[in-house]
Structure 1
Amino acid sequence: MCGIVGGIAADDVVPVILEGLRRLEYRGYDSAGLAFVDAQGELQRRRSVGRVAELAALQTKEEFRATIGIGHTRWATHGGIAEHNAHPLISHDEIAVVHNGIIENYQNLRSRLQSLGYRFTSETDTEVIAHLVHWYRQQLPTLLAAVQAASRELQGAYAFAVLSRRDPQELILHRKGCPLLLGIAAQGHFFASDVAALLPVTRRVIYLEDGDFARLQQNASSLQDVEGVLVQREEHWSQLSSAAIDLGPYRHFMQKEIYEQPRAVADTLEAALDGDFSIDQLWGKGAAERLQEIDRVLLLASGTSHYASLVGRQWIESIAGIPAAAELGHEYRYRESIPDPRQLIVTLSQSGETLDTYEALRHAQTLGHLHTLSICNVAESAIPRASALRFLTRAGPEIGVASTKAFTTQLVALYLLALSLGVLRGRVDATALHTHREALRQLPGSLQQALNLEPQIQLWANRFADKEHALFLGRGLHYPIALEGALKLKEISYIHAEAYPAGELKHGPLALVDRQMPVVVIAANDQLFEKVAANMQEVHARGGQLYVFTDLDSHYEGGEGVHVIRLPRHAGLLSPVLHAIPVQLLAYHAALVKGTDVDRPRNLAKAVTVE
């Protein structure tokens, strides 16, 4: 969940590291630090609790410079938020390490290193890496050899970079399960956990494979695989634009990303709506043949992506007629499951590096599941690379911790998967496919109409600011949207919110309803509307305050204690995509009223690369 960046160059790398950390701040943000070798050959470190701006202020004050350095922005896992736990971690003023991920056996390693005389100054798992590398560097001829030896003792998923005072002309990197990439610039070589950090200096990047070691020098770089064999990895030219990760005229990245959804959805749908509906073009070479071999689907994801999969499960069953299930990745890999060689395993992840989802995919593969498909927003990330088929959602970079446009683009990707499976099984003929595609063409425009409801939603948010709890209700396809709405409100406004299928209301949650408990209802004008209306009456009869998102054609009227906002006309099976917009806006404006940090909510980070 942390961000790492660094490099070695002919010129001063400190500004590059600080700017890279600023761009990575969304990944982790309770402390920041950097280490470098100064002109006198001494290892120096600067750390601060809080934002990268405080670290940058130190640089402005001291004006330190260096041609080699590593930096880190932290999201606390082991050890509290304190300067002594901030990275980089140092051993004997010689070895400095920045690290993303988890060292699972750090307690045993810590005890052994203490018995060897090493003194620990932090509660972090990272410090064992620094001391282990230092121990092996005393015995082995090169820093690379020391890192390779140390890595053989580490258990977990991680990526780290090592800087050594004894070896001031090189940096050593290692990746196992967490993202890491190299940047090749005219004046040097750089690394980061996210390409956005390197855009100010280069677009030439190389993504490390799992198990890779890299040795960076000013004018050269080399890679070895987990066995120590020299390897070449494909070089990429990043298409990510700096403008895409700039805030522009918006107050927050979350607001910007909410408003980018019509374009993100249109871009994601482009390949499906232009020309023929080519299944191989959508999902990858050989997709049509492979997808014809499956007779059930399992969707694996976490968090917001899991809620998208709950909608996708219903689409796959109703459109394609294929049994489907949705499961949390971190639960799936730790239970006894029954392998089915004809089951399609679908993984969803915004970053493509979500560790529990990635490990669930790997677990499925060890059980013999060969039919795997990823839906992801980052092309060169771990999950798509490990999957037989893949679909790239074209949401663009998502900086705000609370996912918005990644969610809606995942939804439309799942809709396309349901259509593809329906076509292959003969459930969706040419006429039906045309109807579905026309509905998809209308979707970006309808999303824009939903965004136009923001002023009304803003008024609602003012009434939520002093509440401590809220209920969200939905049924059928819209129950997952209620779950997503409750999650968004919790994430960024810190108002406790829970979501239930509306039919469950009388089975317990109704006991919570009073005038102080706002009840948000996703009441789309579908076949379940009358059932939901009856559930709303139960709330109203007990004095509950109803906040109802319905459709233009539902004719549901508001009144005392019943507040209604109408979206565009009911969008049929695509209705959940539209109803995601108002619950996002409600959470955003409630957080604004409460004055919380919208883009960086407490205790959370964007890229969940620890389990």
Structure 2
Amino acid sequence: MCGVIGMVCRRHNKDMGVIASRLLRSLEYRGYDSTGVACQDDQGRIFLRKDVGAPSALVKTLGIEDLEGRIICGQVRWATFGAVTRENSQPHEVRCKTHIYGAHNGNVTNTVEVKDFLVRRGHTVVSDNDGEMLVHAIEHHFALELGRHESARQADPLTRRECMRAAILEASRFLEGSYAAVIVDPATGWSWGIKSGSSLYAGVGAYEGNEFVLVSSDLTAVLNFTKNLIQLYEDEFVEYNDSEFAVFSLREHKVRTRQTGAVKVYAAGERIEAPVTRSKLRVEDTGLRKPFEYYMHQEIYASVDGTYKLSGLFEGGTPFNKELLRVACGAGIDGLHEAAARIASAQEFKESMKEFAAFRDSQIFEKLREAVNQALPAFKQDVFRKEFIAREFVSKHAPVLLDLAEELKSPDMKYRNMLAAKLLDAAAGRAEAAKFLKHAEDFTGAVLGAWRERARIYTISCGTSFHASKTASLFFNEIAGIDIIPLLPGNFRGQYAKSLRTGDVLVGISQSGETKDLIDIFNDVERLGLGIRKIAVVNNENSTLGQEKSDFYLPIMCGPEISVPATKSYMSQVMLFYHLAIMAAEKRDLPGARARRDSAARIPALIAETLRTTEEKIDKLAELLFLRPSMHILATRISSVAEEGALKIRETVLNHTQGIEASEFKHGPNTILGINS
């Protein structure tokens, strides 16, 4: 998978190595074969530190933590092209035709051809790594573009930026595959972040008054330093220094505005207006909280709140939020959700603070406060409990509203701020629940329509999401009597891609919403022009699948997935499809559907009870099994659960574990049983 970082600060930063170390460690889940960073100081000196090993260890042993400077470019590697060696680790600094350095994540699939092209043109290639080929390819075209100008102009920063843009465009025509990259021109200090099929996020901010622009493969890495994000879509690249940036089209591509449905086509090299927006994800939501010692343990318990919120969406809101709005209704809540959207979406945080304070100090708020205090006296204490905040702040605007309440707090305003935030959140949550239910209706309508017309319904996904989709197929079959075909991307291409027809429905399931295999399939299906419905199920609502590639999406609402093995997202995906299958059964007037809906509300509490009552037994079982080098998990009918359990063991214990349909166990797997199984 790999991951890249890039950052440019306005002034020399003594903590640049500390910042680089934090960023690299936050990407460790993306790669731990090799770690590296190039740090450039304000004198133009470049300090390259890279080697084989995980960032958690190497940031100390390589002295990365001690670096000072103004510019960093770094990478963590999960080896694909080239062995795990220092030479194949990144970043790569090259000087064959001109001087640049950079790093990438992803795969350049024509690496052999690119390497041959470069060697024949005089480049000294020292590794087998596709990242080096990418950096050399851009260097090659950068030198050609500079050569079109007289020597005096070649040092001009504006000329160099124009030449680098042209070089990136030319190299992208030659490089095949999916990747994101960071490229630095050390002569000017300008950098470029390229998003070509792999995730890349960009943000602007200040570190102790020192302005910066930051790019990273991981959103939470950016959010650890700023919440102000630069809008960057697939097939675009961002040119940046410490405080300025511009976004350009990497190749001709379309961007669809979901709000209006309008499609804008950008030509290669065209400048794109890219607004800075404030993230609605809180950094606090990505941290390790007490009493947990491991992210995965924390994420397992978070599935209780995630499924609770998701279940609430199908009922128009959680029980508490519906009661709060009922109490507030007498005081008049018209326009509250518009106010929440206006406050949370303001371009400047100061503007949001002003709007929030105006609402908190308004007469309508006083009426609401009196009504809530009288009807819900326990709320004054509940609203400050972390468990309550995690469970009952439900809207997309909740992170911003909580930040505002925190920012504006004072001893006499603390409760007023939290009440204002909760009222706005509840009103916004009700509007979002209505939108969610409409999309759930659209989903079941599309599925039922395809089923009645004898068209086919496919779910396409990878890893944990694939296991959830296989469970979804079971739900729809047994609850709604509808057949759904769950597939991995490669199997879809091999078995069905050439036999699609009008009326088919395609459901892409991805926690990140950035799974490249799914994006490619959605692009291919769109080009067929058959009018096939494309629906996304995502956790990251601002993702490529959610915002650009699907007709509409359904969110799983579980919060950021922090641990490497997906946990709470799996539970929320399964919960979502269970409810959708019930909705489809209700539309068909099938017996038992209403009873299932009523009992579904108990699922979050049952998950909590299971976790509470089995912790000791799980510890004992783990002690018994964790050193076993080979395990087999058997299941009947719900083999997807066995497969997901096996995946979790492989990801955490790193041993051989196989989940399998029980009847298949005797057809081969049983032959390898031994004292170690």
Give the TM-score category using the shorter length.
0.7 to 0.9
Identity of aligned residues (%): 26
1:184 maps to 204
Q: Is structure 2 residue 437 aligned with structure 1 residue 281? A: yes
1:426 maps to 588
**375-384 or 288-297, which moves further after superposition?**
288-297
Question: Going by fraction, where is helix more abundant, 1 or 2?
Answer: 2
- Count matched residues: 512
Q: CA deviation at 1:355?
A: 2.1
Equivalent residues in 2 for 1:199-278, closer than 5 Å: 199-225=223-249, 226=251, 227-249=268-290, 250-274=292-316
Change (3 A) 1:199 1:465: closer
3-state SS, counterpart of residue 353 of structure 1? coil
Q: CA deviation at 1:62?
A: 8.2
Q: CA deviation at 1:481?
A: 0.9
Give distance in 2, aligned partners of 1:51 and 1:468. Answer: 24
Q: CA deviation at 1:259?
A: 1.7
Give distance in 1, aligned partners of 2:440 and 2:123. Answer: 51
1:4 maps to 4
Q: CA deviation at 1:449?
A: 1.6
Change (3 A) 1:369 1:323: farther
Q: CA deviation at 1:206?
A: 2.4
Please say if residues 299 and 567 of structure 2, whose CA atoms lie closer than 8 Å, have aligned partners that are also in contact.
yes
3-state SS, counterpart of residue 294 of structure 1? helix
Change (3 A) 1:485 1:115: same
Q: CA deviation at 1:374?
A: 1.2
Give distance in 2, aligned partners of 1:284 and 1:242. Answer: 30
Give distance in 2, aligned partners of 1:2 and 1:495. Answer: 22
Give distance in 1, aligned partners of 2:507 and 2:37. Answer: 39
1:410 maps to 573
Q: Deviations over 1:88-121 (max 9, x none)?
A: 1121182111111100111101001001111112
**27-36 or 119-128, which moves further after superposition?**
27-36
3-state SS, counterpart of residue 73 of structure 2? strand
**213-222 or 6-15, which moves further after superposition?**
6-15
Please say if residues 333 and 359 of structure 1, whose CA atoms lie closer than 8 Å, have aligned partners that are also in contact.
no
Change (3 A) 1:507 1:25: closer
2:653 maps to 493
Equivalent residues in 2 for 1:134-213, closer than 5 Å: 134-140=139-145, 141=159, 142-168=163-189, 170-186=190-206, 187-213=211-237
Q: 1:380 aligns with which of 519, 522, 542?
A: 542
Give distance in 2, aligned partners of 1:171 and 1:61. Answer: 20
Q: CA deviation at 1:294?
A: 2.6
Equivalent residues in 2 for 1:585-604, closer than 5 Å: none
**172-181 or 44-53, which moves further after superposition?**
44-53
2:33 maps to 30
Give distance in 2, aligned partners of 1:258 and 1:366. Answer: 40
Give distance in 2, aligned partners of 1:41 and 1:513. Answer: 61
Give the partner amino acid of 1:96: Y
Change (3 A) 1:61 1:305: closer
Q: CA deviation at 1:464?
A: 1.9
Q: CA deviation at 1:278?
A: 5.2
Give the partner amino acid of 1:294: A
Give distance in 2, aligned partners of 1:203 and 1:489. Answer: 34
Please say if residues 333 and 363 of structure 1, whose CA atoms lie closer than 8 Å, have aligned partners that are also in contact.
no
3-state SS, counterpart of residue 542 of structure 2? coil
Give the partner amino acid of 1:306: F
1:112 maps to 117
Q: Deviations over 1:299-328 (max 9, x none)?
A: 111122111111101212233332211111
Q: 1:328 aligns with which of 484, 488, 496?
A: 488
Q: Is structure 2 residue 86 aligned with structure 1 residue 83? A: yes
Give distance in 1, aligned partners of 2:443 and 2:181. Answer: 36
Equivalent residues in 2 for 1:121-140, closer than 5 Å: 121-140=126-145
Q: Is structure 2 residue 50 aligned with structure 1 residue 47? A: yes
Give distance in 2, aligned partners of 1:119 and 1:282. Answer: 58
3-state SS, counterpart of residue 466 of structure 2? helix
Please say if residues 299 and 568 of structure 2, whose CA atoms lie closer than 8 Å, have aligned partners that are also in contact.
yes
3-state SS, counterpart of residue 126 of structure 1? helix
Please say if residues 284 and 390 of structure 1, whose CA atoms lie closer than 8 Å, have aligned partners that are also in contact.
no
Please say if residues 20 and 64 of structure 2, whose CA atoms lie closer than 8 Å, have aligned partners that are also in contact.
no
Q: CA deviation at 1:366?
A: 3.4
Give distance in 2, aligned partners of 1:34 and 1:190. Answer: 14
Please say if residues 9 and 189 of structure 1, whose CA atoms lie closer than 8 Å, have aligned partners that are also in contact.
yes
Give distance in 2, aligned partners of 1:315 and 1:149. Answer: 49
Give distance in 2, aligned partners of 1:507 and 1:488. Answer: 24
Change (3 A) 1:488 1:237: same
Give the partner amino acid of 1:89: H
Give the partner amino acid of 2:503: R
Q: Deviations over 1:4-58 (max 9, x none)?
A: 1222122324433322222122111222211133222233312132232444326
TM-score, L = length of structure 2: 0.71
Give the partner amino acid of 1:427: D
Give the partner amino acid of 1:245: T
Change (3 A) 1:61 1:243: closer
Q: Deviations over 1:557-598 (max 9, x none)?
A: xxxxxxxxxxxxxxxxxxxxxxxxxxxxxxxxxxxxxxxxxx
Give distance in 2, aligned partners of 1:229 and 1:137. Answer: 18
Q: What's the Cα RMSD here?
A: 2.6
Give distance in 2, aligned partners of 1:74 and 1:113. Answer: 23
Give distance in 2, aligned partners of 1:342 and 1:102. Answer: 34
Greater relative contact order structure (CA < 8 Å, 6+ sep)? 1
Give the partner amino acid of 1:166: A
Give the partner amino acid of 1:261: S
Q: CA deviation at 1:408?
A: 0.9
**42-51 or 372-381, which moves further after superposition?**
42-51
1:65 maps to 68
Please say if residues 50 and 62 of structure 2, whose CA atoms lie closer than 8 Å, have aligned partners that are also in contact.
no
Q: Deviations over 1:210-237 (max 9, x none)?
A: 2112111222111111211111235432
Q: CA deviation at 1:149?
A: 1.6
Q: 1:366 aligns with which of 520, 527, 532?
A: 527
Q: 1:451 aligns with which of 598, 603, 611?
A: 611
3-state SS, counterpart of residue 136 of structure 1? helix
1:313 maps to 473
Q: CA deviation at 1:269?
A: 2.5
Give the partner amino acid of 1:172: W
Change (3 A) 1:516 1:162: closer
3-state SS, counterpart of residue 596 of structure 2? helix
1:343 maps to 504
Give the partner amino acid of 2:99: E
3-state SS, counterpart of residue 174 of structure 2? coil
Q: CA deviation at 1:514?
A: 6.7
Please say if residues 78 and 125 of structure 1, whose CA atoms lie closer than 8 Å, have aligned partners that are also in contact.
yes
| Structure 2: segments with no counterpart, 5+ residues | 146-158, 252-267, 318-429
Give distance in 1, aligned partners of 2:435 and 2:143. Answer: 56
3-state SS, counterpart of residue 69 of structure 2? coil
Give distance in 2, aligned partners of 1:159 and 1:512. Answer: 42
Q: Is structure 2 residue 24 aligned with structure 1 residue 21? A: yes
Please say if residues 320 and 427 of structure 1, whose CA atoms lie closer than 8 Å, have aligned partners that are also in contact.
no
**495-504 or 396-405, which moves further after superposition?**
495-504
Give distance in 1, aligned partners of 2:236 and 2:193. Answer: 8
2:636 maps to 475
